[in-house]
């Protein structure tokens, strides 16, 4: 999945726009994969990444939150048996795990409103996006749960790519890492542990909201706020409880802060964007894509 995912995407971008470094971003499991990929690239001496942005993504799983209730040896073995017969974990099975983590909001309140009160739950764009779940392939899901949740292999230095261990501390690229205050999937204090692994500069943002709404938090929403602080490489570690009062508090969305950070890490050039794709990498269909029209 690294070879056909982050590595293939990086190869495609550098082939279409040669000679340019890439600002890479990963969300949740995608951010964990990006961190592993960045560590593997650093081990090879590959310097194609200009920056790394992680959204609600964990790299150390010692305090991975409520999902650890479902990730002991017996539970993972049960999931592996379930996935073996169909080749993947179905979307309904995956969604059920997350619903159990917030049963008051995602199960009982909806049952009360829909069944007892006879009222339809009002829909919004975020709910529609959240309902577009992804099946988890057997091997990927099994290795993710075993190597990261059970063994914490990346943080402990024995996660291997191409048969060789990788270490996040080898990454010299600056990091922009976002955690959310009420995240039930990737608790912000767990996301914050990137400070214990990364030796390069880390800008950490703690924003209001949860795993979805805290990240999909464009400017204009009322009552949104965040805190942020820059931790230069080589400085002493500050634990998360002491970090909160020291961080700079801001009102509004964290997106403009990220945009300014990316601009500061860029080349400073402003040019017209190149044409999409290339001969070897033809562009895909316009948004929203073709798969959403399939029945």
Query: What is the chain's percent helix, strand, coil content, to nearest 5?
Result: 45, 15, 40
**Does some domain include residue 92?**
no
* Rounded average pLDDT over 59-87: 87
Decide if 115 is inside a domain.
no
Domain assignment present for residue 187? The answer is yes
pLDDT bin (cut points 50, 70, 90) of residue 263 is very high
Cis peptide before 288 (omega within 30 of 0): yes
pLDDT at residue 95 in the model: 65
In a domain, 159, yes or no: no
Q: Which residue has the higher pLDDT, 90 or 145?
A: 145
At 100 the pLDDT is 59
Q: What number of residues does the chain have?
A: 295
Work out how many domains the chain is built from and give that number. Answer: 1
Q: Is the pLDDT of residue 25 over 90?
A: yes
CB within 8 Å of 26: residues ≥ 6 apart: 6, 32, 33, 34, 35, 52, 53, 54, 55, 57
Structure tokens at 96: 């059920």
Contact (CB, 8 A) for 216 and 127: no
Instruction: Report the C-alpha gap between 253 and 205 in whole angstroms.
Output: 11
Range in 133-137, 240-244, 276-280 the model is least confident about: 133-137
The yes-or-no verdict on residue 122 having pLDDT over 80 is no
Q: What is the pTM of this model?
A: 0.88
Rounded Cα distance between 91 and 97, Å, is 10
Name the residue among 181, 203, 180, 182 with its Cα closest to residue 257.
Answer: 203
Positions marked active-site: 28
- pLDDT tens digits along 129-182: 667 777 888 898 899 999 999 999 999 999 999 999 999 999 999 999 999 999
d(CA 244, CA 238): 10
Q: Residues 36-45, buried b or exposed e (16+ Cβ, 10 A)?
A: bbbbbbbbee
Q: So what's the pLDDT on residue 233?
A: 87
Of residues 280 and 270, more confidence is placed in: 280
> What is the secondary structure of 211-262 as a DSSP string?
TTTTTS--TT-TT-EEEEEEE-TTSPP--HHHHHHHSEEEES-SHHHHHHHH
Q: pLDDT tier at 3 (50, 70, 90 boundaries)?
A: very high
- Alpha carbon distance 29, 174 (integer Å): 20
Query: Is 101 domain-assigned?
Result: no
Please tell me the predicted confidence (pLDDT) of residue 292: 76
Predicted local confidence at residue 104, as pLDDT:
64
- Residue 121 included in any domain: no
Contact present, 254 and 226 (Cβ < 8 Å): yes
Domain assignment of residue 258, given as a range: 24-62+164-265
How far apart CA 284 and CA 185 sit, in angstroms, is 31
Please report the pLDDT score of residue 267 as a whole number: 82
Structural domain includes residue 14: no
| Residue 125 counted as domain residue | no
């Amino acid at each position: 999945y690294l070879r056909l995912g982050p590595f293939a995407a990086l190869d495609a971008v550098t082939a279409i726009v040669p000679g340019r470094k890439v600002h890479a971003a990963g969300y949740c499991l995608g951010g964990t994969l990006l961190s592993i990929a960045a560590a593997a690239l650093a081990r090879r001496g590959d310097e194609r990444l200009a920056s790394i942005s992680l959204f609600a993504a964990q790299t150390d799983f010692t305090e991975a939150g409520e999902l650890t209730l479902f990730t002991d040896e017996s539970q993972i073995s049960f999931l592996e048996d379930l996935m073996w017969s169909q080749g993947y974990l179905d979307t309904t099975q995956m969604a059920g795990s997350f619903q159990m983590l917030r049963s008051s909001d995602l199960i009982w309140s909806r049952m009360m409103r829909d069944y007892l009160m006879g009222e339809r739950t009002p829909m919004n764009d975020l709910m529609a996006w959240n309902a577009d779940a992804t099946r988890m392939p057997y091997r990927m899901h099994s290795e993710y749960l075993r190597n990261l949740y059970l063994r914490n292999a990346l943080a402990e230095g024995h996660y291997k790519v191409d048969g060789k261990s990788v270490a996040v501390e080898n990454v010299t690229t600056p990091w922009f890492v976002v955690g959310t205050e009420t995240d039930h999937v990737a608790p912000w204090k767990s996301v914050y542990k990137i400070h214990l692994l990364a030796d390069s500069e880390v800008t950490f943002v703690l924003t209001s909201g949860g795993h979805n709404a805290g990240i999909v938090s464009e400017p204009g929403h009322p009552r949104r706020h965040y805190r942020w602080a820059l931790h230069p490489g080589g400085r002493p570690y500050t634990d998360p409880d002491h970090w909160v009062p020291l961080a700079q508090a801001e009102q509004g969305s964290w997106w403009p802060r990220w945009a300014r950070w990316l601009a500061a890490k860029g080349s400073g050039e402003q040019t017209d964007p190149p044409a999409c794709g290339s001969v070897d990498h033809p562009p895909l269909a316009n948004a929203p894509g073709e798969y959403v029209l399939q029945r």
